């Protein structure tokens, strides 16, 4: 049996997802990461389709790949033309890769309605192109586009295309579920028919329009394909492509196929996040294996079981794919969740009644609209505050916020913003400080006033910045009297943290989250100074 081949098309098919546009430099960096991961073939792009892909292949010649083989992609020659004169095929040659992939039609309706040519001419386009590229000394893969839809409609012609490509010298025929609507049993049935018709090596390329791309890929492997195509994080047009971050660990850990080494598998989560950063896409928390929530536990029974036996609520050890278990605390938590979370975050472990007190507070506060599974810095403070020796770095005495909007005569240009001013009193070391500040809105004014009060005691506080602010209405039917939850994300340039506040008053909710943010950072700095 031939070794399983991993073929990544993130840089070409994945880049067709709305919102993704890789630069040449991005693509070069991604190639290096995929090489480290152990991907066998990296499809770099379509050199005949745009100048950026042509530039990429020119620069990619300087890459020092230790495992991966770079592949250039294109289509067959055009209708009623000659392969040696076809501009797409000439651009393919100019990419100077040792392996190329060309795509051709296998669905008769695509041939007659989209290409607007005959079934015979389509076969000639495929065989001429493969023969021409093979004569140039290239290894050729053939993407049999819309194969499964073609097989459903006209199985004789779809199989005829595969046989013709094989006879022309193609190394692997990749069966494509281009529209992403084929069911697993249909995948298997079609592959069995292809294997009877030709001994050529087969690959699989699936799309996720029916949420079956990974499942269809895996059943195709069981049916005998030797090349698996997909993208990192499942990027791709419409609903995306088969997700290699799910396929690779399943092949290795569930199906016993050593497609990459254990050391390479350890890098999977990092590669997934790295490429999402370059794609400028948020890393989806609920991705299997590599997402932040893939091994996250919230229910008290689950966490209790996890403490006693690591595998009780996890299908694999998270470390195998470079991930880790994660416990969030909510009203569903039990005592075990509190203890696990404290250990995980390096906090003092509450004992006896302290644990019960924290748990009681969490359940009470979450009933009031707080949510600690998305605000771990606020949870840290809950744990610290039950410690008998904890002294907060500051305490609020009172605050007042004024928003003033004066009526002015109409003028041209931008209208003046309302004036927001906050007055605040805080106590630090038994000293009460009274300050006021203006800001771009009431929350910013509060932030400025609090900093102004605290900077004389904690001058390093200048590095802390508020980087995100979200408000959620919790009970819409109450209208303007609704309970609101405020989530604030802050950063000191090295670490980001989130805090939460909740109230029927949006200013009070904002203050609670803001005060937690500052208190969390000051408390951590005090801990570092002691150590």
pLDDT digits (tens, 9 = 90+) for 164-176: 999 999 999 999 9
State the average pLDDT over residues 311-327: 88
Cα dihedral 215/34/205/70 (nearest 10)? -160
State the average pLDDT over residues 56-61: 97
pLDDT of residue 328: 61
Cα(450)–Cα(399) distance, rounded to whole angstroms?
10
pLDDT of residue 461: 96
pLDDT of residue 479: 56
Indicate whether 531 pLDDT > 60.
no
Indicate whether 326 pLDDT > 80.
no
* Low-confidence winner among 18-32, 141-155, 316-330, 385-399 (lowest mean pLDDT): 316-330
Cα(237)–Cα(291) distance, rounded to whole angstroms?
21
What are the boundaries of each domain within the chain? Answer: 5-278, 296-385, 395-406+417-530
Going by pLDDT thresholds of 50, 70 and 90, the confidence category of residue 382 is confident
Indicate whether 277 pLDDT > 80.
yes
Q: Which residue would you say has higher pLDDT here, 300 or 440? A: 440
Indicate whether 456 pLDDT > 80.
yes
State the average pLDDT over residues 338-358: 67
pLDDT of residue 332: 45
CATH of domain 395-406+417-530: 3.30.160.270
The proportion of the chain whose per-residue pLDDT surpasses 90, expressed as a percent, equals 72
pLDDT of residue 411: 55
Cα(19)–Cα(28) distance, rounded to whole angstroms?
19
Compute how many other C-beta atoms are within 10 angstroms of the C-beta atom of residue 472.
Answer: 14
State the average pLDDT over residues 384-388: 83
State the average pLDDT over residues 383-387: 83
Cα(271)–Cα(37) distance, rounded to whole angstroms?
8
Going by pLDDT thresholds of 50, 70 and 90, the confidence category of residue 527 is confident
189 class by beta-carbon count within 10 Å (0-12 exposed, 13-18 middle, 19+ buried):
middle
Going by pLDDT thresholds of 50, 70 and 90, the confidence category of residue 115 is very high
Q: Which of 2, 14, 60, 77 is nearest to 229 (CA)?
A: 14
**Residue 68 is inside which H or E element, if any?**
none
**Residue 143 is inside which H or E element, if any?**
strand 139-145
pLDDT of residue 345: 64
Indicate whether 314 pLDDT > 80.
yes
State the average pLDDT over residues 123-140: 98
Cα(130)–Cα(136) distance, rounded to whole angstroms?
10
pLDDT of residue 414: 56
Q: Which residue would you say has higher pLDDT here, 390 or 67? A: 67
Q: What is the pLDDT of residues 187-207, one digit of tens each?
A: 999 999 999 999 999 999 999
Helix ranges (H only) for 144-183 are 147-153, 155-167
CATH code matching the domain that covers 5-278, chosen among 3.20.20.70, 3.20.20.10, 3.40.50.150, 3.40.50.970: 3.20.20.70
The proportion of the chain whose per-residue pLDDT surpasses 70, expressed as a percent, equals 85
- Are 5-278 and 395-406+417-530 the same fold in CATH? no
Indicate whether 295 pLDDT > 50.
yes
Q: What is the pLDDT of residues 399-427, one digit of tens each?
A: 999 988 766 555 555 566 788 999 999 99
Q: Which residue would you say has higher pLDDT here, 333 or 376? A: 376
How would you list the strands of the sheet with 496-503, edge to edge? 465-473, 484-491, 496-503
CA 283 to chain centre: 3
pLDDT of residue 282: 85
pLDDT of residue 472: 84
Compute how many other C-beta atoms are within 10 angstroms of the C-beta atom of residue 378.
Answer: 25
**Averaged confidence pLDDT in the chain:** 90
* Low-confidence winner among 155-159, 294-298, 316-320 (lowest mean pLDDT): 294-298
Residues with Cβ < 8 Å from 388, sequence gap 6 or more? none
């Amino acid at each position: 049996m031939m070794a399983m081949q991993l073929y990544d098309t993130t840089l070409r098919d994945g880049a067709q997802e709305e919102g993704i546009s890789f630069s040449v430099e991005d693509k070069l960096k991604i190639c290096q990461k995929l090489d480290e991961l152990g991907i066998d073939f990296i499809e770099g792009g379509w050199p005949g389709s745009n100048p950026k892909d042509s530039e990429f292949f020119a620069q990619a010649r300087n890459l020092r790949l230790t495992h991966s083989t770079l592949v250039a992609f294109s289509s067959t020659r055009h209708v009623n033309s000659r392969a040696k004169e076809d501009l797409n095929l000439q651009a393919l040659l100019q990419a100077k890769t040792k392996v190329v992939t060309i795509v051709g039609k296998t669905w008769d309706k695509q041939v007659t309605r989209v290409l607007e040519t005959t079934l015979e001419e389509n076969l000639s386009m495929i065989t001429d192109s493969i023969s021409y590229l093979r004569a140039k000394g290239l290894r050729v893969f053939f993407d049999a586009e819309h194969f499964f839809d073609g097989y459903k409609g006209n199985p004789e012609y779809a199989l005829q295309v595969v046989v013709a490509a094989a006879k022309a010298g193609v190394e692997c025929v990749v069966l494509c579920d281009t529209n992403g609507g084929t069911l697993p049993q249909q995948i298997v049935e079609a592959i069995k028919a292809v294997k009877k018709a030709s001994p050529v090596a087969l690959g699989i390329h699936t799309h996720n329009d029916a949420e079956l791309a990974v499942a269809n890929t895996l059943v195709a492997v069981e049916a005998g394909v030797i090349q698996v195509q997909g993208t990192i994080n499942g990027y791709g047009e419409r609903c995306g492509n088969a997700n290699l971050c799910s396929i690779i660990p399943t092949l290795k850990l569930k199906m016993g196929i050593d497609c990459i080494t254990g050391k390479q598998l350890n890098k999977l989560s990092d590669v997934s996040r790295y490429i999402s950063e370059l794609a400028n896409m948020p890393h989806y928390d609920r991705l299997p294996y590599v997402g932040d929530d893939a091994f996250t536990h919230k229910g008290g029974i689950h966490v209790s079981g996890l403490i006693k036996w690591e595998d009780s609520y996890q299908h694999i050890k998270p470390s195998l794919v470079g991930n880790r278990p994660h416990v969030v605390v909510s009203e569903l938590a039990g005592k075990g969740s509190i203890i696990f979370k404290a250990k995980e975050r390096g906090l003092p472990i509450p004992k006896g009644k302290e644990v019960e007190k924290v748990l009681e507070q969490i359940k009470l506060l979450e009933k009031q609209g707080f949510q600690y599974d998305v605000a771990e810095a606020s949870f840290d403070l809950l744990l610290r505050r039950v410690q008998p020796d904890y002294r907060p770095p500051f305490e609020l005495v009172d605050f007042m916020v004024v928003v003033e909007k004066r009526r002015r005569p109409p003028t041209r240009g931008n209208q003046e913003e309302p004036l927001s001013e906050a007055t605040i009193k805080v106590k630090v070391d038994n000293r009460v400080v009274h300050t006021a500040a203006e800001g771009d809105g009431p929350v910013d004014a509060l932030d400025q006033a609090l900093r102004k009060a605290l900077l004389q005691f904690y001058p390093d506080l200048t590095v802390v910045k508020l980087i995100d602010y979200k408000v959620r209405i919790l009970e819409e039917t109450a209208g303007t009297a609704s309970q609101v939850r405020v989530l604030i994300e802050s950063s000191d340039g090295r670490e980001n943290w989130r805090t939460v506040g909740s109230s029927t008053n949006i200013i009070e909710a904002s203050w609670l989250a803001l005060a937690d943010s500052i208190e969390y950072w000051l408390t951590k700095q005090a801990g570092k100074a002691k150590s």
